[in-house]
Structure 1
Amino acid sequence: MKSETIEKYSPYISFNRAEWSNLQATQISLNDIDLKSLQGINECLSLKEITEIYLPLSQLVNLYYSSTRELHKTRNAFLNDKTKKVPYIIGIAGSVAVGKSTTARIIQYLISRWADQPKVELVTTDGFLYPNEKLESKGLMKKKGFPESYDVAKLFRFLSELKSGRADVYAPVYSHLKYDVLIGENQDLCQPDVVIVEGINVLQPPKHKKKGVKSFVSDFFDFSLYIDADETDIESWYKERFHLLRRTAFKNPESYFDKFAKISEHAASQVADRIWSETNRVNLIENILPTKNRADLILKKGKRHAVTEIKVRKL
């Protein structure tokens, strides 16, 4: 089958890097951008990547966002209603180590610099993991990050409160240093205009539907992205990050993984291989990758985290 025919019957419009970078995006001042604060530990983010990939992406999201706000005004006028606009929610999914957090931070930065300067918050679903104590009791520590390791009911309540227009909404906080939810600590979201929800399983439908329950987490999203890459690249990035963390964060005595900073390079490589093959790869294949085509936009990355292809869902 010819590629044109495949494209014709695809739900997506595909762009290569050159085609995407030629789109006429509204320019945003990047004079104060701090690339190091946006990039991940093993990424090398460039101004070129921001300009060629993320500025057009920001412009596209702005079009969707503005259309939603205009529809809200028109609907209120028709219904003679004065209900305030609820937050616009953007979901970002993808594998461990694929660069979701970097993408989320870049989008947050660019959205905050739109002409109307919306208030934008970034929430990671790590805070909605069950605490380690509960994961241990449920025998799920080796499946941390799998759909069953999350308190989905709590995540649903959080998103429901956002979409109900509640003034103050709280999200639980997670510590990567302690590798656990911080009990009693919360992120306060006070009437944001935009909320970015980033997590590996945010596009995941429930595996076991309870009677009468038909909602997905993604039902609360106004726009969703999936960060994609070849499995071999993701594996390489994960292992590279693991060894970088051994030389940095893992050396902190308070780190949950401080034991890995004290073992040999060879032993550490064996640990990284095992975690990837037994946990992260399984989660990717069984749970994360199957959700890719539920996204409104797919960013495909190549070597060194550079985006090579963009797919946008047809309207």
Structure 2
Amino acid sequence: MTSYFYHDILTSIIHKSTASKPIIIGICGNISVGKSTFAKTTVQQLKAAFPDKQIQTVCTDCFLYDNRYLKQNGLFDQKGSPVSYNKEKIGRFKEAVLKQIPIELQAYDHKKSDIDSTKAFTIAHPDIIVLEGLIVLQEPLRSLITKSIFLDANPEVVQEWYLKRCFDLKLDQKMDLEKEDFYAYAIQTWQSVDMPNYMANVEPVRSQADIVLNLDKRHEVQQIRLQSSYQIKRGNKHGIFDE
């Protein structure tokens, strides 16, 4: 993302910096669309702009039930859909944010594609939280958001990114599958699990985002749609991952 767009985001945040609760930037969109990378870049920009502020990132994957629970309860094929998230964990997180009290969360290991009970991190009195994930624009998280951004792209392009990520994570080797067999498995998972979840639970809430960024296959922003009173002064094409 270019500095122009971030400047406008930061300007909006500055106006809300006296709020009693943490400022929360919500980043939503399809699986593999680039939410984590976008969040990382956002945090870098925020830390540069506000060196005296405590800024933390939370991925909603840490609210998922672990794979063992999902399999035991017949939910593994619905992983990523709202039913696969632990509502009690989400509720405790929301309460901690609103009451400004520390809370420990278990990390999600994307290499293992599972909750890692041995890794935890603490959210403690942050000034700004960058919250990213599939369920950011759904309650009870939606009501926490100060400003929300939806990353949008052609599903066929996102499928390519999804497959690339699977191979980058060496999931074929971890599943002990030949590349051709894993490719077929990944396509089947995308078509039967991920896309139906996106169409049923993520795409419908796109209209609730303050800003929608339409990305092309190079992860460049081709269009910026404003869906709230938020204003951006410059409308040039931006590269979402530009330093």
User: How many angstroms does 1:115 deviate by?
Assistant: 4.7
For 1:218 and 1:178, the matched residues in 2 are separated by 28
Pair 1:128-2:63 in alignment:
yes
Q: Which residue of 1 aligns with 2:23?
A: 88
1:196 to 127, 130, 133: 130
Q: Which residue of 1 aligns with 2:241?
A: none
Q: CA RMSD for the aligned pairs?
A: 1.8
Amino acid at match of 1:201: I
1:305 to 216, 219, 225: 219
For 1:178 and 1:230, the matched residues in 2 are separated by 27
Pair 1:57-2:5 in alignment:
yes
Aligned length: 229
Distance 1:140 1:117, change over 3 A: same
User: What's the CA shift string for 1:119-178, capped at 9, x where partnerless?
Assistant: 210011111101222111210011111110001231122122112222x22222111223
Structure 1 residues 119-268: aligned runs within 5 Å: 119-166=54-101, 168-183=102-117, 185-205=119-139, 216-246=140-170, 251=173, 258-259=174-175, 262-268=176-182
Amino acid at match of 1:64: S
Q: Is contact 1:94–1:226 with CA below 8 Å preserved after alignment? A: yes
For 1:233 and 1:264, the matched residues in 2 are separated by 24
Output the TM-score relative to the length of structure 2: 0.87
Secondary structure in 2 matching 1:181: strand
User: What's the CA shift string for 1:249-304, capped at 9, x where partnerless?
Assistant: 664xxxxxx12xx4223212211111111111111111111111111111110022
1:98 to 30, 33, 45: 33
RCO higher in 1 or 2 (8 Å CA, sep ≥ 6)?
2
Q: Is contact 1:243–1:268 with CA below 8 Å preserved after alignment? A: no
For 2:28 and 2:116, the matched residues in 1 are separated by 23
Q: Which residue of 2 aligns with 1:11?
A: none
Larger Rg over CA atoms: 1
Secondary structure in 1 matching 2:48: coil
Distance 1:274 1:60, change over 3 A: same
Secondary structure in 2 matching 1:160: helix
Distance 1:224 1:123, change over 3 A: same
Q: Which residue of 2 aligns with 1:76?
A: none
Q: Which residue of 2 aligns with 1:289?
A: 203
Structure 2: gaps (5+ residues): 230-243
Q: Which residue of 2 aligns with 1:77?
A: none
Amino acid at match of 2:194: N
Structure 1 residues 19-98: aligned runs within 5 Å: 50-51=1-2, 55-70=3-18, 72=19, 85-98=20-33
User: How many angstroms does 1:57 deviate by?
Assistant: 2.9
For 1:312 and 1:185, the matched residues in 2 are separated by 38
Structure 1: gaps (5+ residues): 1-49, 73-84, 206-215, 252-257
For 2:127 and 2:172, the matched residues in 1 are separated by 36
For 1:204 and 1:64, the matched residues in 2 are separated by 22
